[in-house]
Amino acid sequence: MALVEISNVHKSFGEVEVLRGIDLTVEKGEIVTIIGRSGSGKSTLLRCINGLEQINGGEIKVAGERVHSRSTDLRKLREHVGIVFQQFNLFPHMTVERNITLAPVLTGKIAKGDAARELARKVLAQVGLEEKIDAYPGQLSGGQQQRVAIARCLAMSPYLMLFDEVTSALDPELVGEVLKVMEDLATQGMTMILVTHEMNFARNVASKLVFMHAGMVHEEGRPADLFANPATPELANFISSVR
């Protein structure tokens, strides 16, 4: 069974149909990058996967569970499906430690106190920021904040991580450190779905590339194949425009 099964998903914002029949499956351990022009529905699709957006038709299953079914406990599902946002969305009034441990403590995964701090240390080590454990988000650079946001996700030990244009709000010189963390995660076998404009990452790290166009999956396949031989003029145009 695939970890994520998306079938014939439709989604409209008012009159505008943003997703028009998306089909996509993601196997455990896959790194899927979604590329496409802005407005093609990439971020919306990502937000549908963890139930942040409702859908108007079709179905999305994560680990066999229908995300948009009334009987699904979204909260339980989200404990295992992490998402990292473009704008980091750290909690500005909490230290890095508290940002990371808030959810694991409140959901009963771990006890308050030493165990929680230990967990924060562990995940911060994974993103190379152990020394910032007592800092506030406002004292960190954009790249560091984004790495903390990734650590905050990791603290919930998710089996799937979603990345929504996580480097788009960063100064160019800070992009590398975040991509490095994501590459490390990829090599450790984390299942990841990313919406990104980082073509090098899409080409070199991803196991599957998805090109979205006008609310549909226009092309999908191995990154090397798609970049070398785009089957449609839309993808060819897109590749040449981002080069």
Does position 135 bind another protein by CB under 8 A? no
Q: Give the DSSP H/E element, type plus range, for residue 83.
A: strand 81-84
Q: Which is nearer to another protein, 101 or 196 (CB)?
A: 101
Nearer to another protein, 126 or 223 (CB): 126
Q: Give the integer Cα–Cα distance in Å for 116 and 114.
A: 5
Residues numbered 28 to 87 that lie near another protein (CB under 8 A) are 50, 52, 75-76, 78-79, 82-83, 85, 87
Checking DSSP bridges between strand 192-195 and strand 216-221, what pairing results, if any? unpaired
Task: Name which of 13 and 91 has its Cβ closer to another protein.
Answer: 91
Q: How far is the CB of 60 from another protein (least distance, A)?
A: 15
Q: Which of 8, 39, 57, 93 binds another protein (CB under 8 A)?
A: 93
Q: Is 54 in contact with 44 (CB distance < 8 Å)?
A: no
Report the residue from 2, 20, 37, 102 that binds another protein according to the rule CB under 8 A: 102
**In terms of C-beta density within 10 A (0-12 exposed, 13-18 middle, 19 or more buried), how is residue 235 classed?**
buried
User: CB neighbours (10 Å) of residue 131?
Assistant: 9
Tokens read off for 77: 């599902």
Give the shortest CB-227-to-another protein separation in angstroms: 32
Q: Of the two residues 117 and 203, which places its CB atom closer to another protein in the complex?
A: 117
Alpha-carbon distance of 72 to 68, in angstroms, equals 7
Q: Which residues bind another protein (CB under 8 A)?
A: 50, 52, 75-76, 78-79, 82-83, 85, 87, 89-93, 102-103, 106-107, 152-153, 156
